[in-house]
Amino acid sequence: MLRPRITPCLLVHKGGLVKTVGFKAPKYVGDPINAVKIFNEKEADELVVLDIDATVNNAEPDYRMIANLAAECRMPLCYGGGIKTPEQAKRIIRLGVEKVAISSAAIENPELITRIADEIGRQSVVVVLDVKKRLVGKDYDVFTKNARINTNRSVFDLAVEAEKLGAGELVVNSIDLDGAMKGYDLALAERIRQTVKIPITILGGAGTLDDIEALIRCCGVIGASTGSLFVFKGVYKAVLINYPTLAQRDELIRRALR
């Protein structure tokens, strides 16, 4: 039976684990491998690792880092950053990664989604859409290159396009709520859930487990991803890797879906 997934999202910048606010001012919070080891112990549902330098710097994926992460990780691993060809995606899958995430490259070259899906299977292709709410109306623009370029395209149109082209999953990431810890954009999540049939994960805004429960209650079987909630603790945001126990997750999901 399908159930909601609760996934930590780790950002890698200059080889270190960082956290951003509004996609800006990356703050160093530790070593990625150490974080993976802790999430192993806590039996996380899945792990998302995004290299936020690779695409902006037009760099190849860091295969050595990816191999080290995959070797350590005992949960399904999704990696994104710098992937521009099916050959790169295939190489990453061969390192032991379950899913590859593409964002800017998929929007600039939509047929890449199909080409990668044909190479590794659509179940392993995740398209990440970084979005900001428009000042007027209820739509959201998709941005690329770490929120530096506005595509002036609606997230809902691009979500439908990605699904048709072969994406197996969508991650919708709120730039406005990144690091804010004020709760997910439930209106956005609900509209995306109604727009596509493939699995979706919502990222950006979670500050408490109650926020995750609210997202699941709103959208049902969905992926709830978060960064700050699982790397910071307390009002002063002390760095402390944390994650709910299996019993806590089961109870949270039970309450949300009842």
User: Is residue 102 classed exposed, middle or buried when 0-12, 13-18 and 19+ CB atoms within 10 A define those classes?
Assistant: buried
Mean pLDDT of the chain: 96
- Would you give the DSSP letter of residue 208? S
- What range does the domain containing 232 cover? 5-257
Q: Are 258 and 55 in contact (CB under 8 A)?
A: no
Sequence length of the chain is 258
For the chain, give the percent of residues with pLDDT over 70. 100
pLDDT digits over 209-231, tens only?
Answer: 999 999 999 999 999 999 999 99
pLDDT of residue 2: 83
Give the pTM: 0.96
- What's 56's DSSP letter? T
Q: Quick one: which of 253, 255, 254, 257 has its CA closest to 45?
A: 253
CATH of the domain at 145: 3.20.20.70
Element housing 223 (H / E):
strand 223-226
Q: What is the mean pLDDT of residues 72-81?
A: 97
Q: How far apart are CA 25 and CA 142, in angstroms?
A: 21
For the cut 80, the answer to whether the pLDDT of residue 252 exceeds it is yes
Tokens of 55: 């695409």
DSSP 69-103: HHHH--S-EEEESS--SHHHHHHHHHTT-SEEEE-
Is residue 191's pLDDT more than 70? yes
At 235, the pLDDT band (50, 70, 90 cuts) reads: confident
Nearest CA-CA partner of 4 in 244, 224, 239, 251: 224
Taking Cα atoms as reference points, which of 179, 188, 186 lies closest to residue 207?
Answer: 179
Q: Annotated catalytic residue: which of 45, 130, 141, 185?
A: 130
- Helix, strand or coil for residue 128? strand
Determine the Cα–Cα distance for residues 226 and 216; give it in Å rounded to an integer.
14
Q: Looking at residues 33-53, what average pLDDT do you find?
A: 97
At 103, is the pLDDT very low, low, confident or very high (cuts 50, 70, 90)? very high
Residue pair 224/212 in contact by the 8 Å Cβ criterion: yes
For the chain, what is the domain count? Answer: 1
Question: In this model, does residue 162 exceed pLDDT 60?
Answer: yes
Determine the Cα–Cα distance for residues 121 and 210; give it in Å rounded to an integer: 35
Distance between CA atoms of residues 111 and 248, nearest Å: 41
51 belongs to the catalytic site: no
Q: What are phi and psi of 135, to 5 degrees?
A: -65, -30
d(CA 54, CA 79): 12
Measured CA to CA, the distance from residue 100 to residue 27 in angstroms comes to 25
What was the pLDDT predicted at 236? Answer: 80
Token digits for 51? 């290299």
pLDDT category, 23, cuts 50, 70, 90?
very high
Q: What pLDDT sits at residue 112? A: 98
Residue 155: pLDDT band (50, 70, 90) is very high
pLDDT band at 205 (very low <50, low <70, confident <90, very high): very high
pLDDT of residue 200: 98
| Banded model confidence at residue 234, pLDDT cuts 50, 70, 90 | confident
pLDDT at res. 1 = 56
